[in-house]
């Protein structure tokens, strides 16, 4: 291996190491790009109605912030009340659990289940649960870190919305000249797919929230609105979100009557069946099609690499990765693997650096973020 190749290999390895070390920051940048892509459609819709781009961006951001403030005003007090109830009623739940375990002694042999030992675990479990729920300092630190990351994403999103062309042009310049026009096409496809996924996800979240609220209201479960909003918001996280959303309403329902907890579990199972067999086929698959196993694996893989943020952004990440693999690896490399050099001239795709502005500059009002 020549010295130049060795230096290039070392530079590539160092670059990969640096990218891995700053992966959390890169994930925040990706989140900002996803939100900017979605909001850019709203901005362009306002521009088509003769709003200036600056005014359209301001109106979009202010409207979004107002929606978040209204949702927080509705759900915040309910969640605070629910958390206080759960903390105060932990001893009651544990005492009731101990009574259920003691009642098992009458009909379950001790050889199969040592109920006495399980009952002795309850007093040890109570201070641990109380300490976890009362660890306000850790919660505050985590909340502050999430708030700072959210602020960074908001600022980056606004900056991308304000002037997306230089960022798009700079990304395209990272590729060889003959392939830059193809990169521009791939980026446009990524934008279209991400916007479609975001639209379908919002429809899915709204439908699940409404159906959950109606079902919890019929069952008479306390804090139906808060739990329904939580169920709708957690739909953003595939597979894991719906499982987590059933825990709070079941915990509240079991304090009222044990049968209500079972009814809540049955309700959420029906809602998931409604989503899987009706909502997803008619809403989600019209915009983006992902295999269920691939979605689940993406949650696990990106969650292990990036933590909770990776779980939250697993679907848009796998959408972008899927498009690049399909267009770049499969279509442009593997499908042309056995072609002779004379079959297709690469000069048809050649584009110089001076022409890159023609690609990146918007041909009309519909300038792209990605």
The mean predicted confidence, pLDDT, of the chain is 76
The pLDDT-based confidence of 101 (bands split at 50, 70, 90) is: low
Average of per-residue pLDDT across 184-200: 89
Average of per-residue pLDDT across 108-115: 50
Instruction: Indicate the domain borders of the chain.
Output: 24-162
Higher pLDDT, 254 or 41: 41
pLDDT at 234 over 60: yes
326-358 in b/e form (b: 16+ CB < 10 A) is: ebbeeeeeeeeeeeeeeeeeeeeeebeeeebee
The pLDDT-based confidence of 99 (bands split at 50, 70, 90) is: low
Give residue 174's pLDDT.
Answer: 87
Higher pLDDT, 362 or 185: 185
| 47 neighbors 207 (Cβ within 8 angstroms) | no
Give residue 304's pLDDT.
Answer: 81
Q: What is the pTM of this model?
A: 0.69
pLDDT in tens, 319-352: 899 899 999 888 888 888 765 455 544 444 455 5
pLDDT at 363 over 70: no
User: How far is the C-alpha of 335 from the C-alpha of 329, rounded, in Å?
Assistant: 8
Which segments of 236-291 does DSSP mark as H helices, in order?
240-245, 247-256, 258-274, 280-282
Give residue 365's pLDDT.
Answer: 40
Give residue 185's pLDDT.
Answer: 92
pLDDT in tens, 18-47: 888 888 888 889 999 988 988 888 888 898
User: How far is the C-alpha of 289 from the C-alpha of 128, rounded, in Å?
Assistant: 44
Place of tokens 């496809």: 189
Higher pLDDT, 128 or 287: 287
H or E element, residue 55: helix 53-88
Higher pLDDT, 365 or 310: 310
Higher pLDDT, 180 or 359: 180
Higher pLDDT, 213 or 294: 213
The pLDDT-based confidence of 79 (bands split at 50, 70, 90) is: low
Least confident of 32-46, 263-277, 294-308: 294-308
User: How far is the C-alpha of 370 from the C-alpha of 368, rounded, in Å?
Assistant: 6
Average of per-residue pLDDT across 159-175: 89
Give residue 94's pLDDT.
Answer: 65
The pLDDT-based confidence of 186 (bands split at 50, 70, 90) is: very high
**Strand, coil or helix: 338:** coil
Share of the chain above pLDDT 90, in %: 4
């Amino acid at each position: 291996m020549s010295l130049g190749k060795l230096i290039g290999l070392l530079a590539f390895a160092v670059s990969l190491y640096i990218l891995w070390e700053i992966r959390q920051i890169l994930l925040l940048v990706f989140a900002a790009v996803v939100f900017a892509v979605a909001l850019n459609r709203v901005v362009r819709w306002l521009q088509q109605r003769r709003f200036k781009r600056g005014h359209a961006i301001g109106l979009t951001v202010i409207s979004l912030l107002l929606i978040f403030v209204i949702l927080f005003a509705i759900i915040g007090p309910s969640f605070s009340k629910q958390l206080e109830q759960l903390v105060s009623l932990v001893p009651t739940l544990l005492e009731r659990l101990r009574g259920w375990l003691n009642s098992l002694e009458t009909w379950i042999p001790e050889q199969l289940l040592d109920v006495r030992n399980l009952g002795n675990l309850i007093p040890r479990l109570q201070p641990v649960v109380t300490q976890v729920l009362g660890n306000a300092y850790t919660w505050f630190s985590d909340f502050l870190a999430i708030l700072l990351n959210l602020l960074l994403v908001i600022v980056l999103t606004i900056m991308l919305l304000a002037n997306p062309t230089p960022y798009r042009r700079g990304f395209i310049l990272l590729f060889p000249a003959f392939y830059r026009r193809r990169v521009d096409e791939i980026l446009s496809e990524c934008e279209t797919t991400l916007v479609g996924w975001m639209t379908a996800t919002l429809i899915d979240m709204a439908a699940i929230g409404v159906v959950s609220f109606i079902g919890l209201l019929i069952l008479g479960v306390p804090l139906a609105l808060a739990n329904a909003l939580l169920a709708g918001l957690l739909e953003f996280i595939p597979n894991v979100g719906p499982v987590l959303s059933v825990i709070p309403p079941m915990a509240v329902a079991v304090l009222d009557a044990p049968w209500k907890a079972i009814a809540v579990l049955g309700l959420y199972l029906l809602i998931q069946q409604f989503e899987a067999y009706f909502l997803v086929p008619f809403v989600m698959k019209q915009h983006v099609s992902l295999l269920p196993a691939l979605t689940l694996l993406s949650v696990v893989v990106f969650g292990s690499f990036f933590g909770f943020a990776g779980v939250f952004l697993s679907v848009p990440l796998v959408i972008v990765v899927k498009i690049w693999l399909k267009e770049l690896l499969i279509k442009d490399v593997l499908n042309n693997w056995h072609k002779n050099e004379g079959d297709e001239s690469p000069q048809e795709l050649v584009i110089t650096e001076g022409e890159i502005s023609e690609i990146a500059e918007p041909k009309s009002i519909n300038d792209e973020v990605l």
